[in-house]
Amino acid sequence: MNTKNLFDKLKKSQLLLPVIAMLLVMAVNIIHDAFTGAGAFSFFTITLQNTTGNGTILYGRIIDILNRGSEAALLALGMTLVVSASAGTDISVGSVMSLCASFCCMLLAGYGVSSTNELAVPLILGVLAGMLMGCACGAFNGFLVARLNIQPMVATLILYSAARAIGLLLCNDLIVYVRNNSFGFFGSFLGPIPTPIIITAVCVALLSIILKKTALGLYIQSVGINSKASRIAGLNSKMIIHLAYIVCGLFAGIAGIVASSRITSADSNNIGLYLEMDAILAVALGGNSLGGGKFSLAGSIIGAYTIQAITTTLYALGVSTNQAPVFKAIIVIIIVAIQAPPVKAFIKKKSLSKSSKGVA
Amino acid sequence: MEDNVVLTARQISMTFPGVLALDRVDFTLRKGEIHALMGENGAGKSTLIKCLTGINDFVNGEIHVDGIEGPVHNHSTKDAQNVGISTVYQEVNLCPNLSVAENLFIGREPLTKFGTIDRKSYTAKAQKIMDDLGISVDVTKNLENYSLAIQQMVAIARAVDMDCKVLILDEPTSSLDDEEVEKLFNVMRILKNKGVGIVFVTHFLEQVYEVCDRITVLRNGCLVGEYPIVDLPRLKLVAAMMGKDFDDLKSIKSDENSKIFDELEISARGLGHSGTIKPFDLDIHKGEVIGVGGLLGSGRSEMARAIYGADKANSGTLKVKGKEVKINQPIDAMNLGMGMLPDDRKTEGIIADLSIRENIMLALQSKNGMFRLMSKSAQNELADKFIKLLSIKTPGRETLVKQLSGGNQQKVILARWLATNPDFLILDEPTRGIDIGTKTEIQKLVLQLASEGKSIMFISSEIAEMIRTCSRMIIMRDGEKVDELTGELTEERVMKSIAGGDKK
Amino acid sequence: MNIKKLNLNSHTLLLLITIVLFIILYGLGCILYSNKGFTHLQTFLNILITNAGLICITCGMTCVMLTAGIDISVGGLVAMDCMLIAVGLNKGIPAPLMVILVIVIGILFGLMQGFFVGYLNIQPFIVSMAGMFFTRGMTAVISTDQVSITEQSSPLYYAWANYKIKLPFGGYINNKGVYNAPYIRINVIIALIVLIAIFFMLRHTRFGRNLYAVGGNEQSAAMMGLNIKNVKLKAYTLSSFLCSIGGICFSLNTMSGSVQQALGLEMDAISSAVIGGTLLTGGVGNVIGSFFGVLINGTISSIVKTNGKLASSWPNILTAALLFLFIVIQSIFAAIRNKKMH
């Protein structure tokens, strides 16, 4: 009885989809590991390893997924808010990541310097500037969407194609290397734990607290569901949509800094490439409607890590980095197709006729 | 089928989940007549039209169309067009980015022998069609270059050219100015002479008497009657539409008619919003329930919206508690102690996918500001308090508001505003589409709030209910405040005022 | 002549702005770099040769955008086509067969996307995003190497690619005293045929007008009896079909296949269409505008390349700036029209 209730609850829950996807990925790993003789549960094994550079660190596939999935998870946070409030996606986040990374590295190295061991400005200044650049990009997108009523995808198309190029320009067309341990910290380890995991955890915690302690979450959902009614009830719909984009830009900035810190350089052409797709996919996989309205942050986060788990698993199965998108594409289509209204109606009709047959 | 009759509908019934929207309604349309279909909100006009045009699937009854054997049952607008029934709505269903000629012929363009569209031939045809209707347009120009009135006439021309015998015009004049209306009437008369039967739905009484030959009145899903225009003067029409039937509510108003209000709550001078409501003066006192009467589209909602800032007023001044104020958007009005329950519950009232608790707390929260989120226990307490106070029927406060019945949804929105403890509350059609028990409850609540010293603006289509609750009434007609009734309010007085004087 | 007779509405105005902008940009190039041969006709023809593929793709994109949709899979599809052709030719498959195969694959791929958009009612962006992932991934599945097409792999294809169609005018004598006749290549001819065909299709066939109707007001179009789902299905199929032809043009120009090929091409196509006056909200636009959009993009790249000192990111930034300008102008026009209606 009790388990049935729990099952019913889960069946209705938004989290059903991402949880199932995650379980499937784990199952594939277990089977694969068992057959290759690596031990059925090697997927879950976490060990401490000594390395020369970083001292004792945590090691294991789960740690790797959490670490590598940080950027996508950060972007998914902002994307969730944007999708909820404006019923559209911000496709510029990957590009903005790259711009913020370039801006940060350019400040840290000094303009025109391609490689440095010394920081030109204090680290904190560079990092803050990177984050601020993210906010500025978000504000620009938000202005177009909320104030000029331009479709979100169209509005963010501008920065999608420009931000990466502006970043490259800031770096004087070079890949800027900041070979300084203090900058490399964001992409390496804090004690035994990879720093990106900690940064993501802090961001998730902060955003959750903000959503818990302020009415922002309620406002965003309310505007996303019915902006007219929200206005009558006293909400400033435009301001709230604008804010969602700024927050999204901020997270893109943070993700950009993490990504460039991993490689201690600003590789404009590759940082955040296709990551906007992962972020959008994470939101959809998290059971959030891309049509706006109610959102679940937890769903998006699980979604982001699920995508990373899929990628990591594909690599483990011997699929190359470049081939992995084929499987991603199939997964995207399956997810959106089962959520499409005509398909839903079809399934409902099928199950109805089945149950009525059962009664008769 | 009787001679001259193009369409008959017999004993049409139609149900929506839990509601009988049409109850055995008859309707007859003759060749070459303009037939007005009248009734207040929820009377069943649009439901009947949708049954005729195949959008709604009626459960009972028969429709016959001249020249077609046996009963007709349309399942789509295309079916309806095939039997010769076409509809033109207030919102024009055409493509603004195509030329007038293309809009007339899209999907059925004549083709040349190479299979390409024969632009020359249909442009000429289109020009002739428009000329015949006495409308001077350049058919090669895009539709968006023309006014709404012309666009509507293009829609009519398209319908007529597709051999329609029955033309349904659903509130076509709502956004037209006088001159444009005259043009439209001209077209209607031309078609009438050609033998097309026209069903004209409108809420402008003047227009009915200007062009129509016959009137069918509906009320609460039932047929009230069919009358030749001469047999139904204005006052009788209003009476037929509003109904004389005093529902079995006992009088709930205490004898406070003589009560004197002296403290001004709201004072508007020349307030207006161009295009929707002409400048008006209005005083509302503390503790007063003021009724706003008038037919749908008369400006009664628009007056409220201009005060509340839902449509920012662009003329005149507004004083609240004696102080001149500037209201740019609803939150400004809320901070001055106002609240508004809008008439369209679905699009402006409920936030469908949120829970009852969230819907109730929303207005209070936005008044408090984003950073002062109510504690979970305070939210629950608030929701529970109002669920109990207004006896909202629900499994619990976390139920999504879209799962409630209309009446309970209305109570949730009412709760949303009561939670903000407003000094001045606008209730726009608070009792529409809800059962009689809830209606009485809401009316009682209104009186109770007034006795607590709140001012209330009560907008309703039901005169009886306003007479029971209001101490004074404002009458609106054609976007203008035309009358203010004080003292003894009777149905006859109110109706006379709403109907306005008969011309001639 | 009466100005009103010109039917100067905001759409034709946008097209006019685009054309004038192209002339100004090109004129600027001529003035700045006349010493580097910018004034020669061949510079213009080279823009056409390099962008022949983009012209075909933008024509398809314009058709999809007319229905208020979008197709971001085109870059991936071009990469897949190029790779397929390169690998196939190196395996000894005849060139005509490869061309047919690529076109068939394009049509099938388009049918899939059109089905998901039209019949399952899934957002075009999501569908074509999946399409992009799929085609990019498939490119890598076919081969992860950089595969070039040489004379050995297919003499016929090599001949097609290198065939020069000399023009009888506009030549110049270089400093060695040799007369250089200006030339175009086969892919330019293909692109121009596509351009004219689509221009004609949009103006003079029912399907073309239906694309406009669906984008103008989908609900109205349905009420007027158009089969929306079918129109969308055909639009996406057409886009992928033209994209495959564009892929062949592209391949004839680059003569190679690689995973990194045609990165960001979808955005070039979209921005060309938007700069050419096509509304992303659907219903307005034509391929002549899109053609000039491509030319503007090409001219910007050409100027930056001729300069030689400007950073390689300038074309992207300038295009984005133009995109911004045009989107804002469009939204202002839309706002004015809304105001006029009320």
Q: Does C261 touch chain A (CB under 8 A)?
A: no
* Residues B316 and B291 both lie in one domain: yes
* Residues B181 and B233 both lie in one domain: yes
Give how far the C-alpha of residue B39 lies from the chain's centroid of Cα atoms, to the nearest Å: 10
Task: Indicate if the pLDDT at residue A90 is higher than 80.
Answer: yes
Q: What percent of chain B has pLDDT over 70?
A: 93
Residue B159 covered by a domain: yes
Residue A100 covered by a domain: yes
Only one residue has tokens 């110049």, namely C172
How much is the pLDDT for A2? 55
- What is the distance in angstroms between the Cα of C175 and the nearest Cα belonging to chain A? 34
- In degrees to the nearest 10, what's the CA dihedral of C82, C85, C90, C91? 140
- Strand B289-293 and strand B455-459: the pairing is parallel
Q: What's the whole-number mean pLDDT along residues A133-161?
A: 92
Partner residue opposite A158 with nearest CB, options C120, C130, C323: C323
- What is the distance in angstroms between the Cα of A137 and the nearest Cα belonging to chain B? 24
Task: Indicate if the pLDDT at residue A1 is higher than 60.
Answer: no
In B, minimum Cα distance to A229 occurs at: B348
The reply to whether residue B350 touches residue A226, judged by beta carbons under 8 angstroms, is yes
At B503, the pLDDT band (50, 70, 90 cuts) reads very low
Structure tokens at B248: 């079995």
- What is the distance in angstroms between the Cα of B77 and the nearest Cα belonging to chain C? 7
Of B100-104, B159-163, C288-292, C335-339, the poorest mean pLDDT is in C335-339
B352 chain-A contacts, CB cut-off 8 A: 225-226
The CA-CA-CA angle for residues B89, B94, B98, to 5°, reads 160
Q: What percent of chain A has pLDDT over 70?
A: 94
Q: Does A53 touch chain C (CB under 8 A)?
A: no
The β-bridge partners of A47 are A59
Q: Give the Cα separation of C92 and B244 in Å (integer).
A: 91
How much is the pLDDT for A45? 79
Where in the sequence is the domain holding B477, given as residue range(s)? 263-337+422-436+453-496
Q: Give the Cα separation of A282 and A80 in Å (integer).
A: 9
The reply to whether residue C212 touches residue B98, judged by beta carbons under 8 angstroms, is yes
Per-window interface: B 264-283 vs A, CB < 8 A = none
Q: What's the whole-number mean pLDDT along residues C316-340?
A: 83
Instruction: Give residue-wise pLDDT tens across range A308-335.
Output: 998 888 888 888 888 888 888 888 788 7
SS3 B479: coil
How much is the pLDDT for A242? 96
Q: Does A103 touch chain C (CB under 8 A)?
A: no
The reply to whether residue A233 touches residue B350, judged by beta carbons under 8 angstroms, is no
* Residues B365 and B462 both lie in one domain: no
- What is the distance in angstroms between the Cα of B92 and the nearest Cα belonging to chain C? 8
Q: How far are the Cα atoms of A169, C248, C302 from residue C297, in angstroms, in the given order?
A: 19, 20, 9
Q: What's the whole-number mean pLDDT along residues C128-147?
A: 91
How much is the pLDDT for C234? 96
The β-bridge partners of B63 are B9
Task: Indicate if the pLDDT at residue B329 is higher than 50.
Answer: yes
Structure tokens at C240: 């992928």
- In degrees to the nearest 10, what's the CA dihedral of B286, B288, B293, B297? 30
Q: How far apart are the first and last CA of chain A?
A: 27
Of A288-292, B239-243, C178-182, C215-219, the poorest mean pLDDT is in B239-243
CA pseudo-torsion sign B329, B334, B340, B346: positive
Task: Indicate if the pLDDT at residue C2 is higher than 70.
Answer: no
How much is the pLDDT for A318? 84
Structure tokens at A302: 């699980």
Q: Which residues contact B344 (CB under 8 A, 6 or more apart)?
A: none
Q: Which amino acid is at A72?
A: A
Q: What's the whole-number mean pLDDT along residues A232-243?
A: 93
At C5, the pLDDT band (50, 70, 90 cuts) reads very low
Task: Indicate if the pLDDT at residue C280 is higher than 90.
Answer: no
Instruction: Give residue-wise pLDDT tens across range B301-324.
Output: 889 999 999 988 888 999 998 899
- What is the distance in angstroms between the Cα of C310 and the nearest Cα belonging to chain A? 10
Domain of A195: which CATH number?
A: 1.10.3470
- What is the distance in angstroms between the Cα of C137 and the nearest Cα belonging to chain A? 4
Instruction: Please state the φ and ψ torsions of residue B457, each to the nearest 5 degrees.
Output: -110, 120
Task: Indicate if the pLDDT at residue C8 is higher than 70.
Answer: no
* Residues B72 and B100 both lie in one domain: yes
* Residues B236 and B380 both lie in one domain: no
- What is the distance in angstroms between the Cα of C332 and the nearest Cα belonging to chain A? 8
- Strand A193-194 and strand A189-190: the pairing is antiparallel
The reply to whether residue A229 touches residue B367, judged by beta carbons under 8 angstroms, is no
* Residues B179 and B112 both lie in one domain: yes
At A203, the pLDDT band (50, 70, 90 cuts) reads very high
Instruction: Give residue-wise pLDDT tens across range B229-272.
Output: 988 887 788 778 776 544 444 444 554 555 667 788 889 999 99
Q: What percent of chain C has pLDDT over 70?
A: 96
Partner residue opposite C223 with nearest CB, options B77, B98, B275: B77
Q: What's the whole-number mean pLDDT along residues A296-311?
A: 91
Q: Where are the alpha helices (DSSP H) in chain A?
A: 2-12, 16-36, 61-68, 70-86, 93-109, 123-142, 152-170, 181-184, 195-213, 216-225, 227-232, 237-262, 275-285, 297-316, 324-339, 341-359
CB A107 within 8 A of CB A131: no
Average pLDDT, chain C: 89
How much is the pLDDT for B246? 40
The reply to whether residue A343 touches residue C120, judged by beta carbons under 8 angstroms, is yes
Of A43-57, A177-191, C302-316, the poorest mean pLDDT is in A43-57
- What is the distance in angstroms between the Cα of A207 and the nearest Cα belonging to chain C? 27
Length of chain C: 342
At B370, the pLDDT band (50, 70, 90 cuts) reads confident
- What is the distance in angstroms between the Cα of B95 and the nearest Cα belonging to chain C? 5
Per-window interface: C 274-303 vs A, CB < 8 A = 280-281
Partner residue opposite B342 with nearest CB, options A221, A232, A234: A232
Taking residue C219's Cβ as centre, other Cβ atoms within 10 Å add up to 10
At B293, the pLDDT band (50, 70, 90 cuts) reads confident
Structure tokens at A154: 């169209």
Q: Give the Cα separation of C124 and C208 in Å (integer).
A: 19
CATH architecture of C10-334: Orthogonal Bundle (1.10)
The reply to whether residue A89 touches residue C125, judged by beta carbons under 8 angstroms, is yes
How much is the pLDDT for C1? 36
Instruction: Give residue-wise pLDDT tens across range B86-126.
Output: 888 877 788 988 999 999 988 888 888 888 888 889 999 99
Nearest C-alpha neighbor of B229 from the set B478, B412, B502? B502
Of B91-95, B289-293, C269-273, the poorest mean pLDDT is in B91-95
Domain of B192: which CATH number?
A: 3.40.50.300
Partner residue opposite B347 with nearest CB, options A215, A228, A235: A228
CB A75 within 8 A of CB A251: yes
Q: What's the whole-number mean pLDDT along residues A212-220?
A: 92
Task: Indicate if the pLDDT at residue C179 is higher than 90.
Answer: no
How much is the pLDDT for B150? 86
Whole-complex ipTM: 0.83
* Residues B286 and B381 both lie in one domain: no
- The DSSP element (H or E) to which B271 belongs, if any, is strand B264-273
Give how far the C-alpha of residue A147 lies from the chain's centroid of Cα atoms, to the nearest Å: 26
Average pLDDT, chain A: 87
How much is the pLDDT for B88? 86
At C222, the pLDDT band (50, 70, 90 cuts) reads confident
How much is the pLDDT for C7? 46
Q: Residue C266: left if φ>0, alpha if ψ -120 to 50, beta else—which one? A: alpha
How much is the pLDDT for C342? 53
C210 chain-B contacts, CB cut-off 8 A: 106-107
Q: How far are the Cα atoms of B12, B70, B167, B217, B225 from residue B61, in angstroms, in the given order?
A: 4, 13, 21, 19, 18
SS3 B168: strand
- Strand C183-185 and strand C164-166: the pairing is antiparallel
Instruction: Give residue-wise pLDDT tens across range C67-115.
Output: 999 999 999 999 999 999 999 999 999 999 999 999 999 999 999 999 9
Q: How far are the Cα atoms of A103, B64, C13, C255 from residue B296, in angstroms, in the given order?
A: 59, 31, 42, 70
How much is the pLDDT for C117? 94
B144 chain-C contacts, CB cut-off 8 A: 9, 337
The reply to whether residue C209 touches residue B78, judged by beta carbons under 8 angstroms, is no
In C, minimum Cα distance to A141 occurs at: C324
Q: What's the whole-number mean pLDDT along residues C166-181?
A: 80
Average pLDDT, chain B: 85
How much is the pLDDT for A11? 58
**All partners of chain A with 3 or more CB pairs under 8 angstroms:** B, C
Computed on alpha carbons and rounded to an integer, the radius of gyration of chain B in Å comes to 25
The reply to whether residue A173 touches residue C312, judged by beta carbons under 8 angstroms, is yes
In B, minimum Cα distance to A210 occurs at: B371
Q: Does B353 touch chain A (CB under 8 A)?
A: yes
pTM beyond 0.90: the answer is: no
Task: Indicate if the pLDDT at residue C317 is higher than 70.
Answer: yes
At C296, the pLDDT band (50, 70, 90 cuts) reads very high
Total structural domains in chain B?
A: 3
Residue B247 covered by a domain: no
Task: Indicate if the pLDDT at residue C6 is higher than 70.
Answer: no
Burial C235-255 (b: 16+ CB within 10 A, else e): bbbbbbbbbbbbbbbbbbbbb
Q: Does B78 touch chain C (CB under 8 A)?
A: yes
CB B170 within 8 A of CB B46: yes
A232 chain-B contacts, CB cut-off 8 A: 310, 330, 340, 342, 348-349
Instruction: Please state the φ and ψ torsions of residue B373, each to the nearest 5 degrees.
Output: -65, 135
Q: Give the Cα separation of B227 and C240 in Å (integer).
A: 61
Q: Which residue has the higher pLDDT, B268 or A353?
A: B268
The reply to whether residue C341 touches residue B115, judged by beta carbons under 8 angstroms, is no
CB B331 within 8 A of CB A234: yes
Task: Indicate if the pLDDT at residue C144 is higher than 80.
Answer: yes
SS3 C299: helix
Total structural domains in chain A?
A: 1
The reply to whether residue C213 touches residue B141, judged by beta carbons under 8 angstroms, is no
Instruction: Give residue-wise pLDDT tens across range C236-250.
Output: 999 999 999 999 999
Burial C93-103 (b: 16+ CB within 10 A, else e): bebeebbebbb
Residue B29 covered by a domain: yes
Residue B503 covered by a domain: no
The reply to whether residue C138 touches residue A326, judged by beta carbons under 8 angstroms, is yes
B330 chain-A contacts, CB cut-off 8 A: 231-234
Q: Does C328 touch chain A (CB under 8 A)?
A: yes
Instruction: Give residue-wise pLDDT tens across range A38-67.
Output: 777 777 778 888 877 777 788 888 888 999
Q: Give the Cα separation of A346 and C106 in Å (integer).
A: 29
Length of chain A: 360
How much is the pLDDT for B89? 80
- What is the distance in angstroms between the Cα of B448 and the nearest Cα belonging to chain C? 41
Q: What's the whole-number mean pLDDT along residues A2-10?
A: 61
How much is the pLDDT for A210? 93
How much is the pLDDT for C290? 94
The reply to whether residue A234 touches residue B351, judged by beta carbons under 8 angstroms, is no
Give how far the C-alpha of residue B503 lies from the chain's centroid of Cα atoms, to the nearest Å: 25
Q: Does C313 touch chain A (CB under 8 A)?
A: yes
Residue A351 covered by a domain: no
- In degrees to the nearest 10, what's the CA dihedral of C107, C109, C111, C117? -140
In C, minimum Cα distance to A290 occurs at: C123
